[in-house]
Amino acid sequence: MEKEKEYLKHLFQQEFTKMVAVISKLYGLEHIETAEDIVSETFLKATEVWEKQGLPPNPTAWLYVVAKQKTLYHFRRNKILERKVKPEIRSRQQETVDMEELNFSQENIKDSQLQMLFAVCNPAIASEAQIGLALRILCGFGIDEIAEAFLSNKETINKRLFRAKEKLRTENIKMELPPEQEIVQRLDNVLHVIYLLFSEGYYSQTQNQILRKDLCVEALRLGLMLTTYEKTARPKTRSPGATRACSTSLRLSGSSDCVARTTRS
């Protein structure tokens, strides 16, 4: 039972980041809170159904199907799809796409997560807020875990995240890679946030060793994500500091599970 709970915790954490990124990429960052709610509702339904019927043959595929259904239902019910979403998508996409179909292919998930990484690490957002958003949106940590990492409380964290998401809207930040001429400077900011995430785990004053390990591992995963794309796979991304971070994360984890989680697709 404990192993199953731990499996579900890790599954939900890693799929949360993927599904929120894919939904936000299609419908826009102005709907990021809706994306979070839809994914949370998907996990709630999974917990209820799987408790009664057992795990499905492919839990991840099950989550994606339910998330698609809930997303489409929400936007159709609120008439957001026809009035706002479709015109916006048409204005920024040349090719013909199925605008009602979420694409959970591995390629689109990776693209969506990379674009979300640059959106969250936009310099228009305060550095502390970037870290909070990264922990929630990019790493899938719960509010309780983020509050513990910052030695703060849930109310403060919720307010900080709310202000950061408002900034995404008011600054009209898009989920897209920066232009070629800006990517080097923007990459510096992304790497800085990843370094702060790692430091938050490695130097954290919390006594929760599992949380400290998870913070380091997630920072490492985000760093490795950058190395898989040609435009961001630069020498600074593969620096000796990144190698040391990898070694530290592995040492803190004390198991090969770290490798599996940092290289997950």
pLDDT tens digits, residue range 219-236?
Answer: 889 988 998 888 888 887
Whether residue 27 is found in the same domain as residue 88:
yes
What is the largest distance, in Å, between two alpha-carbon atoms of the chain? 54
pTM of the complete model = 0.83
Q: Report the distance separating Cα 177 and Cα 175, nearest Å.
A: 7
Which two three-digit tokens encode residue 96? 């013909």
Q: What's the burial of 168, exposed, middle or buried (CB within 10 Å: 0-12/13-18/19+)? A: buried
Whether residue 100 is found in the same domain as residue 220:
no
Q: Is the dihedral of CA 7, 9, 12, 15 positive or negative?
A: negative
Per-residue confidence (pLDDT) for residue 257, from 0 to 100: 47
- Of 145, 133, 147, which is closest to residue 33 (Cα–Cα)? 133
Cβ distance 111 to 232 under 8 Å? no
Whether residue 35 is found in the same domain as residue 142:
no
Per-residue confidence (pLDDT) for residue 241, from 0 to 100: 54
Per-residue confidence (pLDDT) for residue 80, from 0 to 100: 61
Express each pLDDT in 150-176 by its tens digit: 888 999 999 999 999 999 999 999 999
Whether residue 97 is found in the same domain as residue 159:
no
Angle, nearest 10°, between helix axes 32-53 and 2-27? 150
Which two three-digit tokens encode residue 114? 């990379």
Per-residue confidence (pLDDT) for residue 85, from 0 to 100: 57
- Of 5, 18, 27, which is closest to residue 175 (Cα–Cα)? 27
Domain boundary among 42, 72, 104: 104
Per-residue confidence (pLDDT) for residue 88, from 0 to 100: 63
Q: Which residue has the tokens 């959106």?
A: 119
Express each pLDDT in 103-112 by its tens digit: 999 999 999 9
Give the residues of the chain that fall short of pLDDT 70.
1, 78-100, 239-265
Whether residue 166 is found in the same domain as residue 259:
yes
Per-residue confidence (pLDDT) for residue 181, from 0 to 100: 86
Whether residue 195 is found in the same domain as residue 237:
yes
Whether residue 83 is found in the same domain as residue 165:
no
Whether residue 79 is found in the same domain as residue 133:
no
Q: How far from chain centre, in Å, is Cα 173? A: 16
Domain of residue 256, residue span = 105-265
- Which amino acid, residue 29? L
Q: How far from chain centre, in Å, is Cα 103? A: 16
Domain boundary among 85, 104, 123: 104
> Number of structural domains, the chain?
2
Whether residue 119 is found in the same domain as residue 100:
no
What is residue 173's DSSP assignment?
Answer: -
